[in-house]
Structure 1
Amino acid sequence: MYTDTIPTPDLTWQREALCAQTGAEFFFPEPGSSVREAKRICGMCEMRSACLDYALTHDERFGVWGGLSEKERLDIRRTAL
Protein backbone atom coordinates (compact mmCIF):
# COMPACT_ATOMS: atom_id res chain seq x y z
CA MET A 1 0.00 0.00 0.00
CA TYR A 2 1.36 3.40 -1.01
CA THR A 3 0.95 6.32 1.37
CA ASP A 4 1.89 9.79 0.31
CA THR A 5 2.63 11.63 3.53
CA ILE A 6 3.72 15.21 3.77
CA PRO A 7 6.37 15.72 6.43
CA THR A 8 5.35 18.03 9.25
CA PRO A 9 7.63 21.07 9.32
CA ASP A 10 9.76 21.66 12.41
CA LEU A 11 8.26 24.73 14.03
CA THR A 12 10.25 24.73 17.27
CA TRP A 13 11.92 27.98 16.22
CA GLN A 14 8.56 29.75 16.59
CA ARG A 15 8.63 29.39 20.39
CA GLU A 16 11.87 31.38 20.57
CA ALA A 17 10.94 33.97 17.96
CA LEU A 18 10.38 37.51 19.20
CA CYS A 19 7.09 37.71 17.30
CA ALA A 20 5.68 35.05 19.63
CA GLN A 21 6.09 37.58 22.44
CA THR A 22 4.46 40.51 20.65
CA GLY A 23 1.13 41.12 18.99
CA ALA A 24 0.34 39.67 15.58
CA GLU A 25 -0.92 43.08 14.46
CA PHE A 26 2.69 44.15 13.81
CA PHE A 27 3.32 41.21 11.50
CA PHE A 28 -0.07 41.09 9.76
CA PRO A 29 -1.02 44.78 9.45
CA GLU A 30 -4.00 46.13 7.60
CA PRO A 31 -3.32 46.80 3.89
CA GLY A 32 -1.40 50.03 3.45
CA SER A 33 -0.18 50.08 7.07
CA SER A 34 3.48 50.31 7.95
CA VAL A 35 5.55 47.18 8.52
CA ARG A 36 8.41 49.18 10.04
CA GLU A 37 7.82 47.93 13.61
CA ALA A 38 7.63 44.30 12.47
CA LYS A 39 10.89 44.67 10.56
CA ARG A 40 12.53 46.28 13.60
CA ILE A 41 11.47 43.34 15.79
CA CYS A 42 12.63 40.84 13.16
CA GLY A 43 15.99 42.59 12.97
CA MET A 44 16.63 41.73 16.63
CA CYS A 45 15.35 38.15 16.41
CA GLU A 46 17.75 35.19 16.43
CA MET A 47 15.15 33.09 14.61
CA ARG A 48 14.92 35.43 11.63
CA SER A 49 16.65 33.13 9.12
CA ALA A 50 14.57 30.10 10.16
CA CYS A 51 11.43 32.20 9.86
CA LEU A 52 12.33 33.48 6.40
CA ASP A 53 13.26 29.99 5.26
CA TYR A 54 9.90 28.68 6.47
CA ALA A 55 8.01 31.49 4.72
CA LEU A 56 9.79 30.93 1.41
CA THR A 57 9.49 27.14 1.60
CA HIS A 58 5.78 27.26 2.43
CA ASP A 59 4.93 30.17 0.11
CA GLU A 60 3.57 32.40 2.88
CA ARG A 61 1.87 35.22 1.02
CA PHE A 62 0.73 37.45 3.85
CA GLY A 63 2.48 39.29 6.63
CA VAL A 64 6.08 39.96 7.56
CA TRP A 65 8.20 36.82 7.87
CA GLY A 66 11.93 36.85 8.56
CA GLY A 67 11.98 40.61 8.26
CA LEU A 68 10.58 40.70 4.73
CA SER A 69 7.21 41.86 3.45
CA GLU A 70 5.00 39.97 1.02
CA LYS A 71 6.43 41.93 -1.91
CA GLU A 72 10.03 41.38 -0.85
CA ARG A 73 9.47 37.62 -0.54
CA LEU A 74 7.73 37.56 -3.93
CA ASP A 75 10.77 39.31 -5.45
CA ILE A 76 13.04 36.59 -3.97
CA ARG A 77 10.84 33.82 -5.37
CA ARG A 78 10.80 35.45 -8.80
CA THR A 79 14.58 35.82 -8.97
CA ALA A 80 15.02 32.21 -7.79
CA LEU A 81 13.13 30.86 -10.81
Structure 2
Amino acid sequence: MSGAEVYAALFGGQVDPDWESYASCREVDADLFFPEERESAGRVKAICRSCSVRDECLATAIRRGESHGIWGGMTARERGALARSLRDDGFAVPRAARRPA
Protein backbone atom coordinates (compact mmCIF):
# COMPACT_ATOMS: atom_id res chain seq x y z
CA MET A 1 0.00 0.00 0.00
CA SER A 2 1.23 3.48 -0.79
CA GLY A 3 1.34 6.23 1.83
CA ALA A 4 -1.72 7.80 0.24
CA GLU A 5 -3.66 4.54 0.43
CA VAL A 6 -2.68 4.00 4.06
CA TYR A 7 -3.61 7.56 4.94
CA ALA A 8 -6.98 7.31 3.14
CA ALA A 9 -7.75 4.01 4.86
CA LEU A 10 -6.94 5.41 8.29
CA PHE A 11 -8.02 9.04 8.12
CA GLY A 12 -10.01 9.43 4.91
CA GLY A 13 -13.48 9.09 6.33
CA GLN A 14 -15.58 9.22 9.42
CA VAL A 15 -14.92 6.55 12.01
CA ASP A 16 -18.09 4.79 13.11
CA PRO A 17 -18.39 5.61 16.82
CA ASP A 18 -19.69 2.08 17.41
CA TRP A 19 -16.74 0.36 15.68
CA GLU A 20 -15.75 -1.40 18.90
CA SER A 21 -18.99 -3.40 18.89
CA TYR A 22 -17.81 -5.04 15.63
CA ALA A 23 -14.24 -5.73 16.76
CA SER A 24 -12.93 -9.30 16.70
CA CYS A 25 -11.40 -8.71 20.13
CA ARG A 26 -14.63 -7.77 21.92
CA GLU A 27 -14.93 -11.20 23.52
CA VAL A 28 -11.22 -11.74 24.12
CA ASP A 29 -9.43 -10.98 27.39
CA ALA A 30 -8.26 -7.37 27.04
CA ASP A 31 -5.04 -8.17 28.92
CA LEU A 32 -3.84 -10.06 25.83
CA PHE A 33 -3.65 -6.74 24.00
CA PHE A 34 -1.26 -5.32 26.58
CA PRO A 35 1.61 -7.82 26.55
CA GLU A 36 4.52 -7.46 28.91
CA GLU A 37 7.71 -6.08 27.44
CA ARG A 38 9.47 -8.70 25.30
CA GLU A 39 6.33 -10.87 25.29
CA SER A 40 5.27 -11.94 21.80
CA ALA A 41 2.33 -10.10 20.28
CA GLY A 42 1.87 -12.64 17.49
CA ARG A 43 -1.29 -14.23 18.85
CA VAL A 44 -2.95 -10.86 19.33
CA LYS A 45 -1.89 -9.58 15.92
CA ALA A 46 -3.49 -12.68 14.37
CA ILE A 47 -6.81 -11.67 15.93
CA CYS A 48 -6.38 -8.18 14.49
CA ARG A 49 -5.56 -9.44 10.99
CA SER A 50 -9.03 -10.97 10.67
CA CYS A 51 -10.85 -7.98 12.14
CA SER A 52 -13.29 -6.01 9.99
CA VAL A 53 -12.66 -2.76 11.90
CA ARG A 54 -8.87 -2.93 12.07
CA ASP A 55 -8.39 0.43 10.29
CA GLU A 56 -10.84 2.17 12.62
CA CYS A 57 -9.04 0.72 15.63
CA LEU A 58 -5.63 1.79 14.35
CA ALA A 59 -6.82 5.29 13.42
CA THR A 60 -8.43 5.71 16.84
CA ALA A 61 -5.21 4.69 18.60
CA ILE A 62 -3.13 7.10 16.55
CA ARG A 63 -5.62 9.95 17.05
CA ARG A 64 -5.71 9.33 20.81
CA GLY A 65 -1.96 8.93 21.09
CA GLU A 66 -2.30 5.50 22.69
CA SER A 67 1.14 4.68 24.03
CA HIS A 68 0.46 1.12 25.17
CA GLY A 69 -1.07 -2.02 23.82
CA ILE A 70 -1.85 -3.55 20.46
CA TRP A 71 -4.33 -1.50 18.44
CA GLY A 72 -5.21 -2.27 14.84
CA GLY A 73 -2.59 -5.00 14.81
CA MET A 74 0.30 -2.68 15.71
CA THR A 75 2.36 -2.05 18.81
CA ALA A 76 2.89 1.50 20.09
CA ARG A 77 6.34 1.55 18.47
CA GLU A 78 4.91 0.39 15.12
CA ARG A 79 2.10 2.96 15.29
CA GLY A 80 4.61 5.70 16.01
CA ALA A 81 6.79 4.67 13.08
CA LEU A 82 3.75 4.58 10.76
CA ALA A 83 2.60 8.02 11.89
CA ARG A 84 6.11 9.50 11.46
CA SER A 85 6.43 7.95 8.01
CA LEU A 86 3.10 9.39 6.89
CA ARG A 87 4.00 12.83 8.31
CA ASP A 88 7.37 12.66 6.51
CA ASP A 89 5.42 12.01 3.29
CA GLY A 90 3.44 15.21 3.91
CA PHE A 91 0.24 13.78 5.37
CA ALA A 92 -1.50 15.47 8.29
CA VAL A 93 -1.31 12.80 10.98
CA PRO A 94 -2.03 13.69 14.61
CA ARG A 95 1.01 13.64 16.85
CA ALA A 96 0.78 11.44 19.91
CA ALA A 97 -0.73 13.31 22.80
CA ARG A 98 1.55 13.75 25.75
CA ARG A 99 0.17 12.03 28.76
CA PRO A 100 0.51 13.64 32.17
CA ALA A 101 3.13 11.95 34.34
User: Is the TM-score greater than 0.5?
Assistant: yes
Provide the alpha-carbon RMSD of the alignment.
Answer: 1.5
For structure 2, the 5+ residue unaligned runs are 1-14, 89-101
**Moved runs in structure 1, 4+ residues, more than 6 A?**
none
Structure 2 Cα separation of the partners of residues 30 and 11 of structure 1? 29
Higher alpha-carbon Rg = 1
Indicate the larger mover: 68-77 or 35-44.
Answer: 68-77
Instruction: Give ranges in structure 1 of 5+ residues lacking alignment.
Output: 1-8
Counterparts of 1:59-70 in structure 2, within 5 Å, are 59-70=65-76
In 2, Cα distance between equivalents of 1:11 and 1:31: 31
Distance in 1, matches of 2:67 and 2:48, equals: 17
- Counterpart of 1:47 (choices 50, 53, 58) is 53
- Identical pairs, percent: 36
C-alpha separation in 2, matches of 1:61 and 1:49: 17
Q: Which residue pairs with 2:18 in the alignment?
A: 12
How many residues align? The count is: 73
TM-score (norm 1): 0.81
